[in-house]
Structure 1
Amino acid sequence: MTELNKKATLGLVELIVVMAALTFLPAWTFDYWQAWILLAVFFACTLSIDLYLVKNDPKLLERRLKAGPGSEREKSQKIIQGMAMVAFVAIFVFSALDHRFGWSSVPPYLSVLGDVLVALGLYFVFLVFKENTFTSAIIEIGDEQRVVTTGPYALVRHPMYIGALVMLIGVPLALGSLWGLLAIIPMILVLVWRLLDEEKFLAQNLAGYSEYQSKVRYHLVPLIW
């Protein structure tokens, strides 16, 4: 196993452990079938993406492993990443507390729908990775980076965030929580802040990005915004 493989595997295992802790501790039970299925779906999808990148685009995988506030170079993005981490934690914790105290009742088919949304969201992220090898986890300009205008980038400027939002919306449903959907609101606000700040950075530092902005009007949702 290469050093990159080890880092990717360790990173994924750590993420799953953190997600499990954020779920089972607030729920205060392991008798939580919705959580077990969600973790299995997330692990399987993310592992599949990692295996593809190891074989087909290891440089992208290496860039994706640099994540979190400490890896960001821009001060604004350090703040945004920190807030995104808090919002991510809140989605799991609030949903697990909902399960524990029975604030809402979600039928099994809605939990399954949530798992489907998680898988679909991650699949869309995977398609973005295939289209754009420069999708770093932090805001930076890579060597030989160019503006990608094909595939989903012909419709919106930040297609990966669409996949991330679909996945995140699926999480509370998968965990059997309706109230947990409220925790998505701060995450949406943080993502909007991040993408606007990212566009400002790219317009200043990436050749051709300003022209791309003039051609593709929509930031996140086609025909809306």
Structure 2
Amino acid sequence: MGALRGALSFTRFFVRGELPDGFRDRFMKNIKLRKFEPLTAEDEESERSGWCVIDRVFDLEFDHEKVFYNSYLNLGLRVDRWRVPPALLKAQLQEAEEELKAKKGLNKLGRAQKADLKQRITIRLRKRTLPTMRAYDLSWNLDTGVLLFWSNSRRLHDELAALFEKTFGLNIVPESPFMAAVECGLTDEQLYVLRGVEETIFFTQNAKRIGE
């Protein structure tokens, strides 16, 4: 969602590190290794993320033309989640526990028995639905090192940073006034002074203070 549809809500990152020789082929190989793998009802995890082709959430077959456009590398971060209604899971689990106790003549079930029942019921409920699916666009200018990610979610930023480092061997740093100054080429002395600047909050004289 975002890049190819003109959405304006994105977060800017700076990519730290040097591009290796032959990076396009190397990156393509690593992208394929970390492409999205669809969830199954039997999976222990309830959420999974990985790369997909930008603006094509179901396209997991990568080639250079789909990923590289001039000096840009474009991808989608696909995130799928199983969402089983907690109330439904609880109700069916209670029913299954009562049936098992009656069948085996037990007054109480052990922890392992409860865990096994919960897993089986969760799988059964998952098979009745589909996981939720979202894809978030990413566009990386390989010349400038600026990366745009079409999400403002802090949790997704962390997920992106981890997958990005595993895939490309590089770190991303979110845009901030200090990082913008670094990218502008300030001297070490100027950056030292900037580090000591305290944040200033501006408000009009007519603005009411909290509690007034």
TM-score (norm 2): 0.31
Bigger fraction of residues in strand: 2
TM-score, normalised to structure 1, is: 0.29
Report the structure, 1 or 2, having the larger helix content. 1
Larger RCO: 1 or 2 (CA < 8 Å, sep 6+) = 2
